[in-house]
Amino acid sequence: LRGWLLTIPAAYIAIEAGWLVREVGRQPWIVYGMMRTSHGASNVPVAVLQWSLLSYIVFYSVIGVAALVFMRGVLRKGPVFEDPPHPPARHTGIHSQPVVAQGSH
């Protein structure tokens, strides 16, 4: 049963992979009859793209790990149960005991 937990990311990977295959396959950035595929290709060097991708992966991995560590700490700490606050002192002339019981006659 715990093995199924490892399949949770599979849905997200499938969605992203499907979107990528669909968009690359139809080349939406190319206008039919007005622009050739070769003109739509980027001339950015591969090293720059690799650096950019690596930067994103590292950045979001660090954020993800930090979030998991934070959530783990919160869950391990558990809920904080506090006593309810004491009722305020009554200085308005309202007594908690009958006047007779206070010995004021």
Three-state secondary structure readout of 56-74: HHHHHHHHHHHHHHHHHHH
Calculate the CA dihedral of residues 61, 64, 66, 68 and round it to 10 degrees: -140
Residue 56 lies in a domain: yes
Q: What is the pLDDT of residue 25?
A: 74
Residue 92 lies in a domain: no
Q: Are both 53 and 66 inside the same structural domain?
A: yes
Residue 96 lies in a domain: no
Residue 71 lies in a domain: yes
Domain, as residue range, for 48: 43-77
Residue 91 lies in a domain: no
Residue 58 lies in a domain: yes
Which residue stretches of the chain have pLDDT < 70? 28-29, 88-105
Distance from C-alpha of 84 to C-alpha of 101, rounded to nearest angstrom: 28
Residue 61 lies in a domain: yes
Residue 3 lies in a domain: no
What is the count of structural domains for the chain?
A: 2
> How many CB atoms are closer than 10 A to CB 103?
6
Residue 4 · residue 15 · CB < 8 Å: no
Residues 6+ apart with CB under 8 A from 105: 99
